[in-house]
Homo-oligomer: A and B are copies of this chain.
Amino acid sequence: MSTRLAIGIDFGGTSVKPGVVRGKEIIARAHPIPTRTHQSADSLLAAVFRDIAVLREQHPEIRALGAGLPGLIDGVNGRVRELSNVPGWLDVPLAALLRERTGLPSIIENDANAMAYAEWKFGAGRDRANVVCLTLGTGVGGGLILDGKLFRGSQLGAGEIGQMILEPRGVPGHYGNFGALEKYVGNREIIERATKLYAAADLTLATDEITPLSLEKAAMNGDRIAVKLWEEIGFEIGVMLSNIAWLLNPDRFVIGGGVAKAGPLVFEPIKRTIRERTAPVYHEHLEVVPADLGNDAGIIGSAALALDAAAKL
């Protein structure tokens, strides 16, 4: 299985990153293609096909092709219904296009699902039947592996942990969902909160810019405002993961993205909150771990999904 090669493409809003994958290793990469320099889907796809051709020349044994994309992706029928932040991609039968142009068995999948699949198959979610992945960044997203399979939901929208409601009467969310988790623990919101806290205390952070990274460093150096902020963020994430534990009773939470790099600063309050707010059955066997595969999870997961789908043909 893991000796077979596939191309995985991480189709981001900023850049499109193709790579040749063997198991959990990316053994070759094409140059990332800047998404926004292409005015149309056709032009962007032409660039992607050129990259694919180069990679296949180097590795003729490539067996399958998978792409992970942000947005409303119908992985079952291989259609991009809507691409987040990239216009011109309404209802594109991308899997069929990839298949026709390359002759390779091809699949597409929502990028958060591809990442969750990679972590479950090769990373921090290995060897468990029920794994909930959470990605913390500018956006807060997630993916679910339930009973050993990727769970997509009826309209393929499952796993939107960042849109779940933490405070029913909290700050407005994008979709009328007042108090959405993302509005508390997304990167932008963390920076905003920190800025306000330092201003209120008439203090400044000992760096020129407030970022999640500088706030991590500050907290590690004992800055009390930063320590307290991470504690609050951990509590908020912990409350939402407690809810998911009551509902799904998973084996593991896998947490990735920039904020997860804050390590114990954020993992400790998360774990403590779950322990304090669930019955023993829900937390005694539960593991809360950082993601393993970092930014490569999208490429690795797309390739793995493509190989697994091809194996069933």
Question: Which A residues are closer than 8 A to B by beta carbons?
Answer: 72, 128-130, 142, 144, 146-147, 149, 151-161, 163-168, 173-178, 235-236, 239, 242-244, 246-251, 276-279, 281-282, 284-285
What B residues does A163 contact at CB under 8 A?
A: 246, 278-279
Supply 12 further A-B pairs (C-beta < 8 A) apart from A163-B279, A164-B247, A166-B168. Answer: A72-B281, A128-B154, A153-B250, A154-B249, A154-B250, A156-B281, A158-B247, A165-B242, A165-B243, A165-B277, A167-B168, A244-B247
Residues A239 and B153 in contact in the complex (CB < 8 Å), given A160-B247, A281-B72: no
A152 partner residues in chain B, CB cutoff 8 A: 249
**How many subunits of this chain does the assembly comprise?**
2
B146 in contact with A129 (CB, 8 Å): no
Q: Are B168 and A249 in contact (CB under 8 A)?
A: no
CA distance A251 to B153 in the complex (A): 8
- Contact partners of A130 in chain B: CB under 8 A: 153-154
Q: How far does the Cβ of A206 sit from chain B's closest Cβ, in whole Å?
A: 31
Give CA–CA (A155, B161) in the complex, Å.
22
